């Protein structure tokens, strides 16, 4: 029954409840509980399923849609690995197209094949299959929930799960309460393997950069498509100097991959002397108890504290490629890289793009840069020719507009410039106002595709008149716009058909110049 599941007002409170409840049961010997750092996935990163774990605690909360808008990036401490945090809903949309109920279930198991976000790596996604036989009818009841996130809550792994909208909340409540329920954990292996190989690749690159070139890693960012490492370099280094050094690092990294060096987890007490002599990173959370997980790359390449999943041997990385390198700060050099299947996918995309460009440019692969350079030069020349022609045309049209104004008793001109953009309208308006001034003068220019009533307009001239009546003009064009200080521009759906009416309207609102005898 839904009432049997504790419902909390927020994700934070639900996570805290299940974490504390799980720890209490483990302390009272009611349940076994593997802590984060000692989970099944951290002992065997190639483990894809697990069916031996039991439900320890659970709670629920209502998912709330986040307000749209730009997020400010989190500021990370120097030297710390960083990732973006995904909400349960964001996790679902990236890996699953099913619709889910608004309730999120926070579930703690006695052990987990799901890696909780941390150490520079995102959390695993996947499914939990809950199975239990009905005692009376001996019919197996099964329900599947989607694991959209996994959190490390004070060393307790908490899975955040969603129920498909067609499933019954009462069914999951009954199974979560059943002591005999079997829980089958299945991770999204493609996602795990992709992240695991990029993370392992970062360890290898950072280790080689430090041990052989004395270059420290500043931060690491694991992206959905491509990742990068920020290295700390000497401020005096030019980009070309750094590129040459990192080309050597890339070669050495791939040599280790070809040697298929081992990469294995191990656990040490925090007072172990190896931390002073062998371990690359000694940054440990305050209050950490129990053995500390490290990852060792064989042949003395690296020995580093890390909670993340990693390949057992470097051969699984296949190859690492540095795609782009840039100096983002005087002492920070950013290297974009990829490994394993992600590298193959990126290179396939590149080859497809190259094939399309070869066809479009009618040249060979080696001639592409030369051909594009030629096209850009031609484009710049054409743009210069167009600017020169616009200058000549605008001068002629400006003279016609000024002659029309001087032959009438008001400084008013309403001109359809044809298929031109706002840039050309502004050019014309500047030339006209430079000649005649804007006192008691109004100039309206419109433009748009030939044969279309939709278009843009520009109203310039007397500041008092333009600022007061600009919105009225926009309404007559059945459009909208904005501006101030004698300039109002916008777009409308009835620009050309409304011109006669608008011209009449402007004729009445613009004051006529006084004669010398008045």
Q: Minimum mean pLDDT among 194-203, 312-321, 329-338, 504-513: which range?
A: 504-513
CA distances from 13 to 24, 153, 395 (A): 16, 11, 71
Percent of residues in the chain assigned helix, strand, coil, to nearest 5? 40, 25, 35
Spatial separation of the C-alpha atoms in residues 159 and 109, rounded to whole Å = 8
**35 domain residue, yes or no:** yes
The answer, yes or no, to whether residue 83 has pLDDT greater than 60, is no
Q: Say whether both 160 and 232 belong to one domain.
A: no
Give the CATH number for residue 20: 2.40.30.130
Is residue 262 in some structural domain? yes
Q: Among 135, 158, 187, give the residue marking a domain's end.
A: 187
pLDDT score of 382 = 96
Which one, of 435, 426, 370, lies nearest residue 405 by Cα?
Answer: 435
CATH number, domain of 498, equals 3.10.310.40
Chosen domain end from 170, 187, 204: 187
The separation between CA 172 and the C-alpha centre of its own chain, rounded to angstroms, equals 34
| The predicted structure's pLDDT at residue 137 | 60
The mean pLDDT of 405-420, rounded to a whole number, is 85
Residue 369 falls within a domain, yes or no? Answer: no
Residue 205 has pLDDT above 90, yes or no: yes
pLDDT score for 346: 94
* 84: confidence class by pLDDT, cuts 50, 70, 90: very low
Q: 289 pLDDT exceeds 60?
A: yes
Provide the pairing of β-strand 140-153 with 126-133: antiparallel
pLDDT interval class at 87 (50, 70, 90): very low
| pLDDT band, very low/low/confident/very high, at 76 (cuts 50, 70, 90) | very low
Q: Is the pLDDT of residue 204 over 50?
A: yes
Q: Are residues 212 and 122 in the same domain?
A: no
Q: Mean pLDDT over residues 168-184, rounded?
A: 86
- What gap in Å lies between CA 27 and CA 35, rounded to an integer? 12
Contact 133, 187 (CB under 8 A): no
**Mean pLDDT across the stretch 455-481?**
94
Residue 14 falls within a domain, yes or no?
Answer: yes
Residues 456/447, Cβ–Cβ less than 8 Å: yes
* pLDDT the model gives residue 269: 87
Asked whether residue 322 is domain-assigned, the answer is: yes
Range of the domain at 156: 2-64+77-187
Instruction: Give the residue from 187, 213, 238 where a domain finishes.
Output: 187
Specify the pLDDT at position 203.
Answer: 96
pLDDT of amino acid 78:
41
Question: Strand, coil or helix: what is 435?
Answer: helix
Range name among 18-27, 270-279, 447-456 with the lowest pLDDT average = 270-279
Q: Which residues are 220's β-sheet partners?
A: 229
Q: Which of 273-287, 298-312, 410-424, 496-510 shows the highest mean pLDDT?
A: 298-312
Backbone angles phi, psi at 362, to 5 degrees: 55, 55
In a domain, 477, yes or no: yes
The yes-or-no verdict on residue 77 having pLDDT over 50 is no
Domain count, the chain: 3
User: Sheet of 332-339: strands edge to edge?
Assistant: 216-221, 227-232, 332-339, 320-329
339 and 422 together in one domain: no
**Most confident option among 254-258, 399-403, 480-484:** 254-258
Mean local confidence (pLDDT), 262-278 = 89
pLDDT at residue 512 tops 80: no
- The answer to whether 38 and 44 have CB atoms below 8 angstroms apart is no
Q: Write the pLDDT tens digit of every residue in 26-50.
A: 999 888 999 999 999 999 999 999 9
Alpha carbon separation from 153 to 117, 255, 508 (Å, rounded): 10, 39, 73
Mean pLDDT computed over 98-105: 86
Q: How far apart are CA 37 and CA 40, in angstroms?
A: 9
Mean pLDDT of 124-152: 86
- Distance, in Å, from the CA atom of 53 to the CA atom of 58, rounded to the nearest integer, reads 14
pLDDT at 115: 97
* Contact between residue 181 and residue 150 where contact means Cβ atoms under 8 Å apart: no
Domain identity same for 56 and 86: yes
Residue 291, domain member (yes or no): yes
pLDDT class for 94, splitting at 50, 70, 90? very low
Phi and psi (nearest 5°) for 300? 70, 20
- Do residues 183 and 269 share a domain? no
Distance CA 461, CA 436 (A): 10
What are residue 311's phi and psi, to 5 degrees?
A: -70, 150
Euclidean distance between CA atoms 87 and 149, whole angstroms: 7
pLDDT at 6 over 90: no
152: left (phi over 0), alpha (psi -120 to 50) or beta: beta
Considering the domain architecture, whether residues 165 and 313 belong to the same structural domain is answered as no
pLDDT at site 89: 42
> Residues 246, 331: one domain?
yes
pLDDT, average across residues 157-164: 94
- pLDDT of res. 90: 41
Q: Is residue 70 part of a domain?
A: no
CA dist 189 and 341 (Å) reads 12
Same domain, residue pair 350 and 255: yes
Q: What is the tens place of the pLDDT at every residue in 434-459? A: 988 877 789 999 999 999 999 999 99
* pTM (two decimals): 0.77
Sign of CA dihedral 413, 418, 419, 424: negative
Which range is most confident: 278-292, 439-453, 483-497?
483-497
Whether 170 and 229 map to the same domain: the answer is no
Provide the pLDDT confidence category of residue 227 given band limits of 50, 70 and 90: very high
Percent of the chain exceeding pLDDT 90 equals 71
Q: Are residues 125 and 224 in the same domain?
A: no
Question: Do 174 and 94 lie in a common domain?
Answer: yes
At residue 66, the pLDDT reads 60
Q: Do 352 and 389 fall into the same domain?
A: no
Residue 75: predicted pLDDT: 46
486 vs 282, residue with greater confidence: 486
């Amino acid at each position: 029954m839904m009432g049997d599941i504790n419902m909390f007002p927020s994700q934070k409170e639900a996570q805290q409840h299940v974490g504390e409840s799980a720890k209490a049961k483990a302390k009272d010997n009611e349940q076994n509980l593997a802590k984060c750092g000692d989970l099944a996935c951290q002992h065997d990163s190639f483990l894809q399923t697990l069916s031996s774990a039991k439900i320890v605690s659970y709670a629920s909360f209502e998912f709330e849609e986040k307000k749209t808008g730009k997020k400010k990036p989190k500021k990370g401490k120097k030297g710390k690995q960083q990732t973006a945090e995904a909400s349960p809903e964001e996790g679902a949309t990236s890996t699953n197209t099913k619709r889910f109920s608004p309730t999120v279930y926070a579930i703690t198991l006695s052990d987990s094949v799901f890696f909780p976000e941390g150490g520079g790596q995102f959390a695993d996604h996947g499914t939990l299959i809950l199975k239990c036989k009905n005692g009376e009818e001996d019919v197996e009841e099964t329900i599947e929930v989607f694991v959209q996130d996994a959190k490390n809550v004070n060393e307790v792994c908490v899975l955040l799960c969603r129920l498909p909208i067609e499933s019954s909340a009462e069914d999951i409540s009954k199974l979560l309460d059943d002591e005999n329920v079997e829980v089958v954990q299945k991770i999204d292996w493609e996602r795990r393997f992709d992240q695991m190989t990029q993370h392992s690749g970062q360890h290898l690159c950072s280790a080689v950069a430090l041990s052989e070139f004395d270059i420290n890693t500043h931060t690491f960012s694991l992206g959905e498509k491509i990742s990068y490492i920020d290295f700390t370099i000497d401020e005096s280094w030019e980009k070309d100097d750094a590129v040459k050094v990192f080309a050597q690092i890339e070669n050495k990294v791939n040599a280790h991959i070809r040697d298929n060096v081992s990469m294995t987890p191990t656990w040490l007490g925090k007072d172990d002397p190896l931390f002073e002599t062998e371990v690359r990173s000694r940054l440990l959370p305050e209050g950490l108890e129990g053995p500390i997980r490290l990852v060792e790359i064989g042949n003395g390449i690296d020995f580093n504290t890390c909670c993340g999943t990693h390949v057992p041997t470097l051969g699984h990385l296949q190859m690492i490629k540095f795609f782009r390198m840039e100096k983002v700060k005087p002492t920070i050099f950013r290297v974009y890289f990829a490994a394993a299947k992600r590298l193959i996918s990126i290179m396939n995309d590149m080859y497809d793009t190259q094939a399309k460009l070869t066809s479009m440019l009618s040249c060979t692969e080696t001639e592409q840069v030369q051909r594009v350079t030629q096209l850009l030069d031609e484009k710049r020349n054409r743009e210069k020719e167009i600017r020169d022609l616009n200058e000549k045309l605008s001068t002629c049209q400006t003279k016609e507009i000024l002659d029309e104004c001087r032959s009438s008793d008001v400084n008013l001109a309403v001109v359809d410039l044809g298929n031109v953009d706002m840039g050309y309208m502004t050019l014309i308006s500047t030339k006209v106002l430079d000649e005649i001034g804007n006192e008691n003068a109004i100039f309206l220019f419109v433009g748009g595709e030939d044969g279309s009533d939709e278009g843009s307009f520009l109203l310039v001239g007397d500041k008092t008149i333009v600022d007061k009546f600009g919105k009225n003009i926009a309404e007559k064009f059945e459009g909208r716009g904005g501006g101030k200080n004698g300039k109002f521009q916008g777009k409308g759906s009835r620009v050309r058909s409304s011109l006669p009416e608008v011209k009449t309207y402007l004729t009445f609102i613009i004051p006529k110049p006084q004669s010398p005898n008045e």
